Amino acid sequence: MERESVIRTLNRQIENLSRLQPQYRLHRTEDYDKLRQSIAQSIHDHRINVRRELDPHVYNLYRRYFD
């Protein structure tokens, strides 16, 4: 149950990250970097297999903003 909650939260955070970048040009701000680091840390802490566990469209966004 907790893992599903973490994955849902990560899906929402990655979608929000993708909206901030082109729409508001916030990709150069400190808050954007903090959100990115928070997402990466959550993935690392919970040992999330992004390829298998994230939604397919969110996985594509993840690859775009984290690779």
Cβ neighbours around 27 below 10 Å, total: 13
**pLDDT tens column, 5-64:** 999 999 999 998 888 766 666 667 787 888 899 999 999 999 999 999 999 999 999 999
DSSP string, 32-49: HHHHHHHHHHHHHHTT--
pLDDT digits (tens, 9 = 90+) for 36-51: 999 999 999 999 999 9
- Give how far the C-alpha of residue 7 lies from the chain's centroid of Cα atoms, to the nearest Å: 10
